[in-house]
Structure 1
Amino acid sequence: MTRTASVTRTTSETDLTVRVNLDPHLDSATGESPATGHGFFDHMLTALARHSRLNLCISGKGDLHIDPHHLIEDTGIVLGQAMSQALGDRRGIERYGSAFVPMDETLVHVVLDLSGRAHLAFEPEGLDVYGAAGGMTHYHLREFLRGFCNHAGATLHVRVLAGREAHHVIEATMKAFARALRDAVAVTSDTVPSTKGRL
């Protein structure tokens, strides 16, 4: 079974295409560098692809002359849709993933469950995270992750245990998310990982 998907979403605010391959070792094709027109966000998407070890091809554009919000949120939506399609009935997947990632003064913990149920718990609010990176804040990251969860059918808990500067908080979160995703999509059996018999 090939666990791949391609999804395109066009609105009056964004035009995005995401292609995902959950088993790149079975395919000689490699992922392309993300190209959304937002430099820092593309940097984060590159980190997501690299640390998840998945082939992710993400391209498109958004109304960046207004704000990066629409582009970032819609990319999460399309990535979630592609991920759900590629996972199929989710038979054999590990389902759960968890990762701690430090980045200098920052420490982030991400826990992921590809349960089919959408929920995001995003908790950096106890910290005084300041600034933006290329116009992207940790709140834009929250909307990216919310879009992913809602459309991938995923439960995601993000806790920023230490950190103050937005660049490090965003990057450590994306890398922890990537590593948790890598573990969760791994095929480790031939059964559906649920006592219900389906996800």
Structure 2
Amino acid sequence: MSVTYAAEGRHAPARHSRLVVLAGPTAVGKGTVAAAVRTEHPEVWISVSATTRAPRPGEVDGVHYHFVSEEEFDRLVAEDQLLEWACVHGAARYGTPRGPVEQALAAGRPAMLEIDLQGARQVRESMPEALFVFLKPPSWDELVRRLVGRGTETEAERERRLATARGELAAESEFDVTIVNTEVHDAVEELVKLMKFGSES
């Protein structure tokens, strides 16, 4: 397990920060890590994103994502009900509902957003006090293996996601902390330690 703090003027973790923003390249395992945090650490509140994409097999509306129509997503954007949103991989849109995040923070709970790079950049603009964590694969070959192993995308979609991932990996220096996702349980424990340290400092 490897945890690295960014240099150049960032302090790790941010004092009194209860919000952790977890991002990283496609197929690195952000969703798997977030699901494990939800199971192993129920004290941590995790945002459920809204998306216009169709559910994958086994995904449950309101648990994994809020699956919404294009029209409903337009309404959320127009009414400023999303903390961040982006069009990912040139296809579906994803966004973080603002209200639940603010409610969790007001209640003093450790809170986490599991989002893409574009979303993380938007959140940094509005909540710079949050702790931004980059989830990194052990290697490029392992990232490719995980993406192919999911079996949820066509070959064309995989190629598009890998092209996106190359750019996302280059953004690591924008984050406060890097965790290498070699083993899910280890990544979860490092992430929760960071959250609690950030909350209690």
TM-score (ref. length: structure 1): 0.33
More helix per residue: 1 or 2?
A: 2
What TM-score results when the alignment is normalised by the length of structure 2?
Answer: 0.33
Of structures 1 and 2, the one scoring higher in RCO (CA 8 A, sep 6+) is: 2
